Amino acid sequence: MFVVVNGFRMHYQVYGPAKSRPLLFVHGFPLSGAVWSPLVEILKDEFRLIIPDLRGFGESELIESVQPGVIPAVSLEQYTDDLFVLLEEIGEDRPSVIIGLSMGGYIAFDFYRRYTSDVFAMVLADTRAAADPPERRIERYKTAQAVLTQGSAVVADAMVNKLFGPAAPRDLREQWHANIRSIRPESLAAALLAMAARPDSTELLERILCPTLVVVGEHDSITPVEEAKRMQRAILAAELAVIPYAGHMTPVEQPQLFAAALQGFLRAVG
Ligand code: MLT
């Protein structure tokens, strides 16, 4: 389904009983709502699932009309505001559970910071609270430039093996390599700059008062287990689920285990 949000066509999917609490699934970089697909069959009879593609990813437009080679200014706050408006536009603007994977976690922090009363609970999967250190920012600017001149394969090649743990089958890596290659270079570049400019959320952690589940793949090399433990300790009411045999792509690599952790948490928080 599509809806016009903040001037661009946003793609989203909705499943599950209309009256139940919305679960808003926010994907990471350089991914799409498809990372949550393996969970849909497991969760859709019990929960209301809202699965958007962030602007520029999956089937969502980046802006109404993209000029090749030009990076539109997109901030992390813009992705958040798109989601906020999406929920309003589709009549799902009740306090929801925000489930963010990696960059989706950065967006979840921003959502909580600015729309606190709209967040019933949070799931922070394979993410981190800290902002980028200067050298990482520079690396992101360089990658953004490279992707515009050489194409999206630059990001696909650099990231695909880092995204998965050692147990992930080759066809899964190949499938995601192809998915990443199909994203417009301008969308990748815009997201890289947005992540580089994101604020530090470390101070926010101790102000998070909603029930929170921190999830991490045991072999996550991008946002390692230690990072998740630090977040869990800093948040007042947080639980930790370490997903065995998974890397950074926990819902794709171990959907049954990810869904079981989510179900346990959601049933307990009501
Ligand atoms: C993600 O999975 O969203 C990214 O790897 C996060 C990042 O690059 O910081």
Instruction: Find the 102 Cα to ligand 1 centroid distance in Å.
Output: 5
Q: Can you read off the two tokens belonging to residue 195?
A: 């992540």
Residue type, position 236, single letter: L
Pocket test for ligand 1, best of 25, 26, 29 (most atoms within 8 A of CB): 29
Instruction: Find the 20 Cα to ligand 1 centroid distance in Å.
Output: 30
Nearest atom, ligand 1, residue 192 CA? 8
pLDDT at 32 over 90: yes
Closest CA relative to residue 232, chosen from 253, 208, 249? 208
Nearest atom, ligand 1, residue 105 CA? 3
Question: Into how many domains does the chain fold?
Answer: 1
Instruction: For residue 125, give the CATH number of its domain.
Output: 3.40.50.1820
Instruction: Find the 30 Cα to ligand 1 centroid distance in Å.
Output: 7
pLDDT tens for 54-68 read 999 999 999 888 888
pLDDT tens for 120-153 read 999 999 999 999 999 999 999 999 999 999 999 9
Per-residue pLDDT at 270: 82
pLDDT tens for 178-197 read 999 999 999 999 999 999 99
Per-residue pLDDT at 67: 87
- Taking the C-alpha atoms of residue 198 and residue 204, their distance in angstroms, rounded to an integer, is 13
Q: Which range marks the domain in which residue 41 is found?
A: 2-269
- Taking the C-alpha atoms of residue 164 and residue 168, their distance in angstroms, rounded to an integer, is 6
- DSSP symbol at 255: H
- Taking the C-alpha atoms of residue 125 and residue 102, their distance in angstroms, rounded to an integer, is 6
Instruction: Find the 163 Cα to ligand 1 centroid distance in Å.
Output: 9
Atom 9 in ligand 1: residue holding the nearest Cα? 103
